Structure 1
């Protein structure tokens, strides 16, 4: 009798393991569904770490779930290989800082863009890779300091792009407002900051804050917002970000 109980217990354990494996296989299959476009959210930091990064990741994952977009995340730069990058419709640099890619990874990313890939830069993506001129042109500018987090007015200049089409002419919000240097004159500026509406602006009357452009075979979109965790709970900012991601994906 004891041996029979042990036998049935072993059968039950085996059955549960088989069911678990089957469920894991189905989950993996769903995550790698070739019919669903995939983006990569890259958040490696070699300098300042933004505490809002987990909020940004969670928000983009939720946007993906709601819009049939698979979202992979990594802070491991080894994902920047030619073969791996092929599967992404766009790569999002979420508040990356300083030197995040080695020379081989840089070459792989340049190749990805040249083959039609998409790039999205959020906030500190401009505080990244200061010794890589190609990246400067891609992201559109470099970070040049900032004042304290405060309320400011964003002046929407171009509503022909889906990331700004739904916004009012003046968008008031709280964030950490970057000043910029080495601005690529070929980017298409969608919105600027009204430096009269806050303290600490250094770019004058032409202070870009949202822009996009086609670059070196691919597409790039940048938004300077996203420093605060609250940014990723703002419906307008999330709608703006989703539209920028879709643009970079080629949608």
Structure 2
């Protein structure tokens, strides 16, 4: 897509999403404000609805804000437009196209079946395995640094029960489990690189726990998505519409925490 096509695609999805919300009513409820950190893009890890992100040291508050807003908008909109159990591939493609339409460059990102090498697994380890694999496309020592931050971001969640609760509220529904884990860095020219690993799998309608619990891999059909995005602030598009869309949802989807 060129810039004109990207803008047209964003507008089309935005209008369709607004129309669906108007008919169905918003399904995202605000969380309790008790003892939860206000999201000010000050800490180096965050929940973004059904996604978890870790930032390497040196990321500006502005770039953290761009990451959170664009990712959350693309994830929410793609899920609203394509909520069906059999729509996981098109939902993932819409997510990537929306990221591109907001100014991100995508280097790769197919959705494929995930094959576990063990009989038992945890979803946090599956997600990290996908992210580690996707980091093979990052050059130099940055890949190892991003692996470390991704691992610390997930490990720190074990001490953040309210963050886990918020995340799992968005990552589970009657159609299964859908979530993403990402890690970002900012280079000396302030360009942001983000590696995203997504997990989609079938699960019972009663499922409420996702992370840090053991699953029998023989009973699961898991799909993975890998994407490598990059953006510079000057390439960021559609900010006003994104902010307007998310403003009423911030208390329901965002929460900062520290990965150390």
Q: TM-score, normalised by structure 1?
A: 0.28
Q: 1 or 2, which has the higher helix percentage?
A: 2
Larger Rg computed on CA atoms? 1
TM-score (norm 2): 0.28
